[in-house]
Structures are given as C-alpha cells and as structure tokens.
Amino acid sequence: MKVMKFGGTSVGKPERMKHIASLLQKETEPALVVLSALSGTTNALVSIGNHIAANDRHSALQTITTLQEHYYSFIKELLQSETTYNKAKAIVDEHFDFLNIILKISFSEALSKDILAQGELLSTKIFSCYLEEIGESYALLPALEFMSIDENEEPQIGTIRTRLTQLINQNKDKKVLVTQGYICRNARGEVDNLKRGGSDYTASLVAAAINASVCEIWTDIDGMHNNDPRIVNKTVPVEQLSFDEAAELAYFGAKILHPASIWPAQQYKIPVKLLNTMEPEAKKAH
C-alpha cells in the first residue's frame, strides 16, 4: 500500500479535487490518501479562534459566514448528483453549526483545537462525497480514531500502527482509503493537531506505521527547490536528496515539508517522493 498526501492547494478548488480523484483512478496499488484542509481554511479557522479568544464574536461570526459561503459554492461546483450534493450540504451545515455553537461558549485552548480540526474533517468528507459520486471504491478512516500523541506531544507510532492496521483490515475490499492530515488526539483524549503544515507529518507517520511502499507528497510545485521560490527568482528543483538534507532544508524553512515529517520515513526506511499535482509527470524529487 502507498501513502499519497495532497496539500491545501491540491484540494483547494473543485477541479483540483476532481483531478486528484482521476489520479487515484489510474492507480493500480491500493492507496491511503491523506488530505489537508482546502487552502485558506486553516488560516480562517485560526482567525476565528483568535477573534473568540479576544471576545470579538462579531468578527468571528463574519469569518465563519464567509467561510461557509465558500464551502457552499465549492460543493455546488464539485457535485452534480442531487444525492451526493445533499449529503455534502448536510456535512457543511453540521460543521458550521458546530462553529456557530462554539461562538456561544467561553474560549479555551481545547476549544481552539476543535475549531482547527474542522478544515481536514470537511475536506475529507467532501472528497468522499465526490468519490461516491464517481463510483470509486473508498472508505473514510477517521484520523481521530488512530492518530495520537503522548504527553510530550510525540506521536505514538506503536498505537497508531495497531489502530490503523485494524481499520485497514476492516476495509480490505476498498481501493482508496481516505484520512485527515494534521489532526490527532492528545494524551488527555482531546482533539489536537500536529502543528501548521502537519499533514506532511501525518503522511510520513502513517507510511511508517503501515510500512508503505512509498510516501508521496503531492503539492503545487515540482519538488524541493534549491531555494524558497517565494523569495528567490529562478530556483530549480533538486532531483535527489538524502533524508538528512531534506530534514535540514525543511528545518531551515523550506515550507514544502513539515520539518518533523522526515524522521518517521527515515527511521522506517520509507522512500518519500515530492510530486506536483498539476504536472504529475514533472521531475520527481525523492
């Protein structure tokens, strides 16, 4: 089984989500697909949490409403059949009802983590509706049932392996398994996360836990570049990198990879490939 992680920009537009599904349909190997939230969503959820913490409920409500409108138009464009559209609409309503209820509750750290989790919960459920619409054989594995961190915020690979293997075994007949990146449960059993950009870390951890054939990180650029393309002109992709070199670049700010995401793959000897969702045949860095 391979692990395929798609980042925010890769799922951020309906046509991109459809494109991912078509990539999956071409796959011959079963895949565990890790999804980020739609691009912009986690930033919006951070600001909702900040507004609530500052007791600015009006701004929080405004941000929630704008985000909800975005999801309504997203599912309208993504889904053609009435059945799957209605399903997705109910999902969007359920998650935004939750955010609106939170507005009435006093702020806590735990509550802010619940807010942040909504992005990946929404993206995976909406993507599942699309897979259903096109008749793809899939199952949604809830990350909150198997991704866990201990009291030092370290992932518990052993526990993750046991729980995830059980879920995979229950879905042996499915070609595509979908799960949320970024979110997990902490030692107190509360909803938590692996920090910003943490979906890469989820991908690498689950790849290590299930001994995947490869961990593919699909993003909006053709691999790790020799410099940050947002700052430096004319950067070029680096074709091959050692795990140590990749970890060093990520640690010193190469945003393409979450800095912690290298060690599980390195320790458990899982090859990591960085691929461009928009150009699947572009040079693959690994």
Please select the residue that binds Mg ion; options are 49, 119, 181, 197, rule is CB under 5 A: 197
Contacting range for Mg ion; rule: CB under 5 A; set: 90-98, 102-110, 171-179, 193-201: 193-201
Exactly one of 230, 234, 269, 281 binds ligand ADP (CB under 6 A); which one? 230
Considering the complex, what minimum distance in angstroms separates the CB of residue 275 from Mg ion? 13
Which of 148/261 has CB closer to ligand ASP? 261
Q: How far is the CB of 180 from ligand ASP (least distance, A)?
A: 9
3-state secondary structure the chain: CEEEEECHHHHCCHHHHHHHHHHHHHCCCCEEEEECCCCCHHHHHHHHHHHHHCCCHHHHHHHHHHHHHHHHHHHHHHCCCHHHHHHHHHHHHHHHHHHHHHCCCCCCHHHHHHHHHHHHHHHHHHHHHHHHHCCCCEEECCHHHCCEECCCCCECHHHHHHHHHHHHHCCCCCCEEEEECCEEECCCCCEEECCCCCHHHHHHHHHHHHCCCCEEEEECCCCCECCCCCCCCCCCECCCCCHHHHHHHHHCCCCCCCHHHHHHHHHCCCCEEEEECCCCCCCCEC
- Using CB under 6 A as the binding rule, whether residue 117 contacts ligand ADP is answered as no
Least spacing, CB of residue 158 vs Mg ion, in Å: 26
Of 24-32, 60-68, 99-107, 220-228, which part binds ligand ADP (CB under 6 A)?
Answer: 220-228
219, 241, 262, 272: which one contacts ligand ADP (CB under 6 A)?
219
Q: Binding string, 35-54, against ligand ADP, x = CB under 6 A? A: -x------------------
Contact letters for ligand ADP, residues 238-277 (x by CB under 6 A): -----------x----xxx---------------------
